[in-house]
Structure 1
Amino acid sequence: MLAARLPYAAQRCSFSTAAHVQRQVPILSSPDIDTFRDQAFVPALPFLLPRHTFRDLPAIRNWFLHQPTNTSNGPLSPALNLSYLARFGSTIVPLEITNNDHFVRTSQALSFFLACVNASSSSYEQAISPPKRINRYFSARRPGSRPIRRSVVTKRATGDFFSSSSAISTPTARVYLAQATLSDLPQALRDDLSPTPSYVLEAGKGDVYDTSIWLGEAPTYTPLHRDPNPNLFVQLAGRKSVRLVRPDVGMGIFAKVQERIGGNASATMRGEEMMAGPEKLALEEEVWGDDSEFKASMWEAEVGVGDGLFIPKGWWHSIKGTGEGMTGSVNWWFR
């Protein structure tokens, strides 16, 4: 039994509220490398690092600010430090853009992403100033339309993806800076995520397969998938909930979803098919739904600022950004 192998499993993630998930990812009893290697890395089990292990990463204080929420006396909501990040505005970054059930990946300058974030955090009234000049990032048709600028790249790639029809009355399109490779970023931003955690450099062979950053306004969502390398996932801003299943269970979920939707996707090479349409809906129901037959096999963790989660090679996982404001994460895949 798992509990017999993990006497420290009584240290649970205290933030989860999903009572139907039986296992909460345990917290390592110590932050030292030997404990990480013996309890998590070698047996290939998910673990949270002791809370706030990574709180001193410069990116946490340089990239983000905190502002009041719409709820009086509520907690502060994380926001991007636009003045700091704007210095790197010409950097090209990968973006995932969703509009209802439509999805597209594209590349844009970081300044475009920052402009969308800045506009979406403003009210429609603030976007109009004398003499009634409308902010170009907002729809001129209806208050509440999601702020998106038509660029040559996105218009060519998506056609009428950003339609500003007068029928739109609620926010629709969302922009997520997803899986931006750290080595493609300016040196100053890479320095903000230094040093590389010792867990990555010392637990295994010491080589990093890849490092990515993720920035987006909550709620964000990454469907169920698996990675070909061990993964250290660190939260920089906001909160995220992560659900994980063992490799064999994940394959069972994937097979059921493919049978249910009549699909033939590859479990190894995951693409845009999981980001929209029937596969995304089916995956979400099987992982996050109360009626899923796999709920007893789910593990769950919630990560906050400075928290780290180890995801073993081959473990399937799905991630949701929760709460209000900006969420930010970085992860290292290593051998």
Structure 2
Amino acid sequence: MSARIFLRQSATTRVAAFAPVQALSDTTVDHFRQHFFRPGLPVIFPRGQFADLPALKNWFRPKDGELHGSSELILDRSHILGHDEIMVPLELTSSGDNFQRFRAPLSMFVEWSQQATSSRTTDRLYLAQASLSDLPQRLKNDFPAPTYVVNTGKNDIYDTNLWIGLAPTYTPLHRDPNPNLFVQLAGTKTVRLFEPTVGADIFTRVQEEANTNNSAAFRGDEMMKGRERELLENEVWGGRPCGSATNRALGYEVQLGPGDGLFIPKGWWHSIKGVGEGITGSS
């Protein structure tokens, strides 16, 4: 069972600190089920565990035609775009704290991402929470369900979502209604996690300070701009203390590269940032 790490901190020196997520030492499904899935504890799979997922090589290719993995990646337009028009959810973040969400053709996003990689624009389009069920079968085939998903529980996959954009990307602190196997496809992302009671304490404190009462289970507009976003980001990623004076449990942090996977249990709070440069993708 995962060891939970705590540090003693005085009331005047409570500083945010993050312990590493435990690594899965025994990769059998039975071990994962017994020690992490059933007790609801996060774990990172061995590095590159999901590197053979077809999407890693089919959706992304090296810019300027270099060997895969040796240069900045871009979306592979020839593979992703076909004769069918695919509508996807997009988020636009621009200067001045402007944020809007809309649906548009996947082709528009692919073209933008290739142009933006060269121009280094500060505006950001993010393919956020695009359901795999909305894609044609030829693209669904790039995302076969991992063995851990098929064999660990009841084989009832709630949904598979895609997240693709140019770093930096940001997902605010929230919790999911189901267990989540998070797989990094391209680029690098940093994930910070909190146990259910600790995350709830942080979220409640932010809601009270921002004078809001929004859901924690969804990526709401209020989380992506304005006062609530500022407070949430500062609590999780800034220098403010994590947890309350009576609950000093630490958060956990892990950085994921292509082919890496992280199990996020139901009820665990997490926030995710795409770091570095170039395209970043996950499912």
TM-score bucket (shorter structure): 0.7 to 0.9
SS across alignment from 2:159 = strand
SS across alignment from 1:199 = helix
Which residues of 2 match residues 1-335 of structure 1 at below 5 A?
5-6=1-2, 21-67=17-63, 76-87=71-82, 90-100=85-95, 101-123=97-119, 146=121, 171=122, 173-194=123-144, 196-268=145-217, 271-294=220-243, 297-330=250-283
SS across alignment from 1:209 = coil
Shift of 1:52: 0.7
TM-score, length-normalised on structure 2?
Answer: 0.87
| Runs of 5+ consecutive residues of structure 1 not aligned to the other structure | 10-18, 69-73, 124-143, 147-170, 331-335
* Aligned amino acid, residue 142 of structure 2: D
Shift of 1:175: 0.2
Shift of 1:75: 5.8
Shift of 1:88: 6.0
- Distance in 2 between residues matched to 1:7 and 1:97, nearest whole Å: 40
Query: Are the equivalent residues in 2 in contact too, given 1:88–1:110 (CA < 8 A)?
Result: no
Of 261-270 and 201-210, the range deviating more from structure 2: 261-270
* Aligned amino acid, residue 178 of structure 2: N
Query: Are the equivalent residues in 2 in contact too, given 1:178–1:214 (CA < 8 A)?
Result: yes
Shift of 1:47: 0.3
Q: 1:58 to 1:270 in 2, by over 3 A?
A: closer
Q: Deviations over 1:277-335 (max 9, x none)?
A: 111110000001123233862101111110110000000000000111100111xxxxx
Query: Are the equivalent residues in 2 in contact too, given 1:237–1:327 (CA < 8 A)?
Result: yes
Q: Deviations over 1:54-109 (max 9, x none)?
A: 100111011111237xxxxx962221112222326621111011113121110000
- Distance in 2 between residues matched to 1:238 and 1:118, nearest whole Å: 15
Query: Are the equivalent residues in 2 in contact too, given 1:95–1:177 (CA < 8 A)?
Result: yes
SS across alignment from 1:108 = strand
Query: Are the equivalent residues in 1 in contact too, given 2:236–2:242 (CA < 8 A)?
Result: no
Q: Relative CO higher for 1 or 2, CA cutoff 8 Å, sep ≥ 6? A: 2
SS across alignment from 1:292 = coil
* Aligned amino acid, residue 285 of structure 1: N
- Distance in 2 between residues matched to 1:261 and 1:280, nearest whole Å: 9
Q: Deviations over 1:120-148 (max 9, x none)?
A: 1234xxxxxxxxxxxxxxxxxxxx7x4xx
Shift of 1:268: 4.4
SS across alignment from 1:213 = strand
- Distance in 2 between residues matched to 1:314 and 1:60, nearest whole Å: 28
Q: Deviations over 1:182-214 (max 9, x none)?
A: 0110111100112x1121122111101111111
RMSD of Structure 2 on Structure 1 (CA): 2.2
- Distance in 2 between residues matched to 1:242 and 1:7, nearest whole Å: 19
* Aligned amino acid, residue 22 of structure 2: P
Q: 1:206 to 1:224 in 2, by over 3 A?
A: same
Query: Are the equivalent residues in 2 in contact too, given 1:237–1:305 (CA < 8 A)?
Result: yes
TM-score, length-normalised on structure 1?
Answer: 0.74
Q: Give the paired residue count.
A: 265
Q: Percent identity?
A: 51
| Runs of 5+ consecutive residues of structure 2 not aligned to the other structure | 6-14
- Between Structure 1 and Structure 2, whose CA radius of gyration is higher? 1
- Distance in 2 between residues matched to 1:25 and 1:290, nearest whole Å: 21
Shift of 1:119: 1.6
Query: Are the equivalent residues in 1 in contact too, given 2:188–2:274 (CA < 8 A)?
Result: yes
* Aligned amino acid, residue 131 of structure 2: T
* Aligned amino acid, residue 239 of structure 2: D
